Structure 1
Amino acid sequence: MTAATTLKTWYWLHKWSSLVCTVFLLVICVTGLPLVFHDEIDQWLDNGKPYAVAPADAPTASVDPMVAKAHALYPGQVITFVFADDEQPQVLVGMAPSFATATTDSHTLKFDAHTGELLNDGPPGERYTFMGIMLALHMDLYAGLPGELFLGFMGLLFVIAIVSGVMLYGPFMKKLAFGTVRAGRSRRLKWLDLHNLLGAVTLGWGLVVGVTGVINELSTPMFTYWQKTDVAQLLAAYKHAEPPAVLTSAQEAREAAMRALPGQSFVSLSFPGNPFGVPHHYIVWAKGSTPLRSHLFTAALVDAGTGQLTAVASPPWYLSALELSRPLHFGDYGGMPLKIIWALLDLLTVVVLGSGLYLWFARRRATDARIAALARQASLVASLPARAS
């Protein structure tokens, strides 16, 4: 394959991968901007009671009274999870009308982690609050698993567009110094130079966010596969057993799991029947204390009928890759300075995507104008003999 043919192939890949994904990438970038600051926005929009004043080492309250309070407030609903926030002294209890609708119609109750007091009763339909809308559009376009897979494919096209753009940058810019913007030339050339420059500036960030975004969009099939393989093997003895009619204490399940995971901290507890859980067991998630291990989770399976530990399931490599990709995707591991950098790079990427669309339309207009001019010339030439006669 000659150099010219290779260059044409890269150009074709860059053009079509960019065109197909650009509109959806713009949606992802616009919705991703507030998600970078989701903790700060959630606190700003939170109208619940303030946290109780307590020492940093104060013990946390039992989750059983919180679960009982949630059941009392919504007796016809199911509890899907209990989540302990490690950044704020709060415990979140997730509820839904049924487990079948847990991923689309749920709400969250917030309790004080030290006193167990109900601080805020989240409204039903949290997917239709401002942050809920941003998250749903960013993750699945309100289309569930098909939406997740579709956006994952768009993310893959984005990565192809970045790689092909890198392969084109050198040949197209070899006669110009890096960062040159030919402002004195045509508008199209100026925007082409800006597009190339900003694309080079956001190159590393775009690859990181694109690859981790693709991984995140595969979270549902990843968890489903893990449940049907590793977890199913650990729970083979329960395959034909009926789920427990009465659940044991959630706090006892939490304590049984944490005794088997010394040195780790409790993160969340999935109730039996949860779409990301199993029928007969609580799944208790815990994480390590080191900077790396704090992003890696271990699952303990506790019999929901007896409260006894059944097994500890260390997630496989693909779930570890998923957990590590989440903070990278949102810049959620370096505090506010990194979040600001993530937001600025997100805005620059919007400019890159928008300028790419402009360049394509400008090229189309220029091509159409040339074709029209040639057609007029051909028509004029064809009419000359008739005039001469």
Structure 2
Amino acid sequence: MTASRIRAWAFVHKWTSLVSTLFMLLLCLTGLPLIFQHEIDEWVGASAGPAAVRPGQARASTDRIAAAALADHPGKVIQYLGWDLHEPDAVFVILNDAAGSHPNASVSSVYDANTARRLGPPGSAFMGVMLRLHVDLYARLPGKLFLGAMGTLLVAAIVSGAVLYWPFTRRLPFGTVRPERARRVVWLDLHNLLGIVTVAWLTVVGATGVINTLSEPMINHWKATELGRMIAAHAGPAPARLASLDAAVARAREAAPGMTPGFIAFPGTPFSTSHHYGVFLRGTAPFTARLLQPVLLDGETGAVADTSRLPWYLTTLLVSQPLHFGDYGGMPMKVIWALLDLVTIVVLGSGLYLWWSRRRRPAPARAVPAAGAASA
């Protein structure tokens, strides 16, 4: 590689790293507890856990759980009711002042699927803060898009760092750390080594993070196209009386064999029509459990009105979400994700240190940046 190309790649690596590093550190720090969200909520007592099931005890009906939620929240209406993927004996219910009210004004509760007993909120306040900071910085869509832009810069920094790795380390054995050299050289060696070791993982997490920041535009596009056509074909007045939720779910499962219900969108919510339930079913295998198929059902009779598969871009989104948090392989994968997250924090922090220490050096002593000093 020519010297001019090396300088060009070093320029790209330096500035994409500098612009994005502080925000990536924030995402790494908030993402670390989110990897263990369910475990932390149980540890702090935010998740009460379902009651023990007695032999021969039947599960509570969905209608009974919905009635309990309405009784516990007077004046509210149910927007969504669903089944937790990680806690099969827990049912979450999202309520609001009206079916079409903004999600940020909603309240959520978790119910025991066996007794219909209210277990409490779906998570701790701490995890709620971590999630909002990680997802949108409390800035809604502009915050999501901003973090998506930072994630794009991160991917550019990763690619440019990988390109620079070979020219600046070709004379050193792989994994060399020179403790006898100056502190800055030691950190440079560690930065290069940890960066190249985590390059594949960090690229996956960065790319899936960027995809996740586009969830709102993707869903809005789907609602305006495929779902919009389904809704337009079955528009109608608000149902005078809602059909049984259990009957609606049973018919939805008949329309999508081999799938299990994920959540129900009540009439008037953004994922249904003013007259229909939207029952979203998912597969039963670890991979297909992330994929959803919507079924529209008449809100008064529970009869199936329409169903369709999700478009490819929403399938990509649903697959990328658990991959981003290491949520596919149980606790072993979560531990691996957490360790790699910690290594990434070291890579980002060392990059800032290399850049700052180089700025403090006298101008004549500055040399061509070494591998990875990029962020330097």
TM superposition score normalised by structure 2: 0.90
Distance 1:158 1:91 in 2: 37
Task: Give 1:291 deviation, angstroms.
Answer: 3.3
Structure 1: give runs of 5+ residues left out of the alignment.
372-389
Whether 2:360 is the aligned partner of 1:365: answer yes
Distance 1:59 1:369 in 2: 79
Distance 2:291 2:54 in 1: 27
2:262 partner amino acid? V
- Post-superposition Cα deviations, 1:91-117, rounded to whole Å, max 9, x if no partner, equal 111123445654323332221112222
Query: Any conservation in 1 of the 2:18–2:352 contact (CA below 8 Å)?
Result: yes
Which residue matches 1:54?
53
1:239-318 pair list within 5 angstroms: 239=235, 241-318=236-313
Task: Give 1:369 deviation, angstroms.
Answer: 8.0
Bigger Cα displacement from structure 2, 16-25 vs 226-235: 226-235
Bigger Cα displacement from structure 2, 128-137 vs 157-166: 128-137
1:165 partner amino acid? G
Structure 2: give runs of 5+ residues left out of the alignment.
367-376
Aligned residues: 365
Distance 1:57 1:310 in 2: 35
Query: Any conservation in 2 of the 1:26–1:353 contact (CA below 8 Å)?
Result: yes
Which residue matches 2:374?
none
Task: Give 1:63 deviation, angstroms.
Answer: 1.4
Instruction: Give 3-state SS (helix, strand or coil) of 1:356's partner.
Output: helix
1:1-389 pair list within 5 angstroms: 3-46=2-45, 50-54=49-53, 59-88=58-87, 89-98=89-98, 102-120=102-120, 122=121, 129-239=125-235, 241-367=236-362
How high is the sequence identity, in percent, across the aligned residues?
48
1:140 to 1:330, Cα distance in 2 relative to 1, 3 A: same
TM superposition score normalised by structure 1: 0.87
Task: Give 1:72 deviation, angstroms.
Answer: 2.0
Distance 1:118 1:261 in 2: 30
1:8 to 1:275, Cα distance in 2 relative to 1, 3 A: farther
Query: Any conservation in 1 of the 2:278–2:294 contact (CA below 8 Å)?
Result: yes
2:325 partner amino acid? F
Task: Give 1:180 deviation, angstroms.
Answer: 0.9
Instruction: Give 3-state SS (helix, strand or coil) of 1:235's partner.
Output: helix
RMSD between aligned alpha carbons? 2.3
Distance 2:146 2:241 in 1: 40
1:282 partner amino acid? Y
1:17 to 1:100, Cα distance in 2 relative to 1, 3 A: farther
Which residue matches 1:383?
none
Query: Any conservation in 1 of the 2:82–2:91 contact (CA below 8 Å)?
Result: yes
Distance 1:116 1:195 in 2: 53
Rg (Cα) greater in structure: 1
Task: Give 1:149 deviation, angstroms.
Answer: 1.0
Task: Give 1:55 deviation, angstroms.
Answer: 7.1
1:170 to 1:190, Cα distance in 2 relative to 1, 3 A: same
1:54 partner amino acid? V
